[in-house]
Amino acid sequence: MDRAALAAFLSREFPQVAGDYAVEEVGRNRALLRLRVDDRHLRPGATVSGPAIFALADVAMYMAILAMIGPQALTVTTSCSIDFMRKPAAGRDLLAEARILKLGRVLVVGDVLVRAEGGADPVARAGLTYSIPPR
């Protein structure tokens, strides 16, 4: 699936959140996803909430996987380990770079680095495992 196909998939399958995200780039075993940061993603201290960053990492990896295996909506996250490292600057979008490290028949393992737009230092990193449903 390419960028346009992934964006259409998100809008169709996840209408409640699709507007939060923009698929910026897609390539072999990778995807770059933008979170359009909005008030509802913030928590006290005007920082983006942990769940919003988790969701960004999760969707970024999902996009990277679907780009490789096609629109299998029932592909599910089985585990995620995430480190929150820095408070992102207020008023900046976040960008998540997802990378697939193993694309198995049943399990996919990858990691994600999250940065604020225009910032060099990572805001968060995550390792994720997805399970692909049997066909």
Question: Please, which of residues 84-103 interact with a copy of itself by CB under 8 A?
Answer: 84-87, 101-102
- Rounded CA gap, 134 and 115, in Å? 34
> Is position 120 an interface residue for a copy of itself (rule: CB under 8 A)?
no
User: Which of 18, 68, 122, 132: binder of a copy of itself (CB under 8 A)?
Assistant: 122
> Is position 73 an interface residue for a copy of itself (rule: CB under 8 A)?
yes
H/E stretch holding 9 reads helix 3-13
- Residue 69's nearest CA partner among 113, 8, 134 is 134
Tokens representing residue 96 in the block? 């998540």
To the nearest 10°, report the CA torsion of 81, 83, 89, 90.
50
- Where does this chain touch a copy of itself (CB under 8 A) — which range of 26-34, 78-86, 89-97? 78-86
Tokens representing residue 10 in the block? 């998100």
- Where does this chain touch a copy of itself (CB under 8 A) — which range of 26-34, 90-98, 122-130? 122-130
- Rounded CA gap, 90 and 104, in Å? 38
Q: Which residues bind a copy of itself (CB under 8 A)?
A: 13-14, 16, 40, 43-45, 47, 49-51, 54-55, 58, 73-74, 76-87, 101-102, 106-107, 109, 111, 113, 121-122, 125, 127, 129
